[in-house]
Amino acid sequence: MIEVKGVTKRFGDFTALDDVSLEIPDGSLTALLGPSGSGKSTLLRIIAGLEVPDTGTVVIQDEDVTNRPAQKRGIGFVFQHYAAFKHMSVRDNVAFGLTIRKRPKDEINARVDELLEVVGLQGYQKRYPSQLSGGQRQRMALARALAVEPRVLLLDEPFGALDAKVRAELRAWLRRLHDEVHVTTVLVTHDQEEAMEITDRIAVLDGGKIEQVGAPRELYDNPSTEFVMSFLGPVTKVEGALVRPHDLSIFTEPVDGGIEAQVLRVVHLGFEVRVELVLGGGEEVSVQLTRAEAEQLEVADGDIVYVREPRPAAAPSA
Partner 1 sequence: MRTDRKTRWGLRLVALLYLALLLLIPVGVVLYRTFEPGIGAVWDSVTTPAAVHAFQLTLTATVITVPLVTVFGVLLALVLARGRFPGKPLLEAVVDLPFAISPVVVGIALIFVYGRTGWFGQDLADAGIQVIFSLPGIVIATVFVCLPFVAREVTPVLREVGDEQEQAAATLGASGWQTFWRITLPAIRWGVAYGVVLSTARAVGEFGAVSVVSGKIAGETETLTLLVEKRFNNFDLAGAYAASALLALIALVTLMAMTLIKPRREEA
The contact set with partner 1 (CB under 8 A) reads 48-50, 69-73, 75-77, 79, 81, 83-87, 96-97, 100-101, 141, 144-145, 147-148
CB 285 within 8 A of CB 273: no
73 versus 178: smaller Cβ distance to partner 1? 73
49 versus 216: smaller Cβ distance to partner 1? 49
In whole angstroms, the minimum distance from the beta carbon of 156 to partner 1 comes to: 10
40 versus 144: smaller Cβ distance to partner 1? 144
154 versus 210: smaller Cβ distance to partner 1? 154
DSSP designation for 246: G
11 versus 251: smaller Cβ distance to partner 1? 11
121 versus 213: smaller Cβ distance to partner 1? 121
In whole angstroms, the minimum distance from the beta carbon of 12 to partner 1 comes to: 11
Q: Round to whole Å and give the CA distance between 189 and 186.
A: 10
In whole angstroms, the minimum distance from the beta carbon of 249 to partner 1 comes to: 50
Instruction: Provide the 3-class DSSP secondary structure of residue 102.
Output: coil
| Interior/surface letters 239-273, b for 16+ CB within 10 angstroms, e for the rest | eebbbbbebbbbeeeeeeebbebebeebeeeeeeb
In whole angstroms, the minimum distance from the beta carbon of 82 to partner 1 comes to: 8
In whole angstroms, the minimum distance from the beta carbon of 178 to partner 1 comes to: 19
∠ CA 182-185-188 to the nearest 5 degrees?
A: 155
Residue 51 is which amino acid?
Answer: E
CB 80 within 8 A of CB 34: no
Residue 129 C-alpha from the chain's centroid: 26
In whole angstroms, the minimum distance from the beta carbon of 159 to partner 1 comes to: 16
Q: Return the number of other C-beta atoms located less than 10 Å from residue 227's C-beta.
A: 18
68 versus 209: smaller Cβ distance to partner 1? 68
Q: Return the number of other C-beta atoms located less than 10 Å from residue 113's C-beta.
A: 15
Sheet strands (E) in 34-183: 55-60, 63-64, 75-78, 152-156
In whole angstroms, the minimum distance from the beta carbon of 70 to partner 1 comes to: 5
Rg (CA), the chain: 24
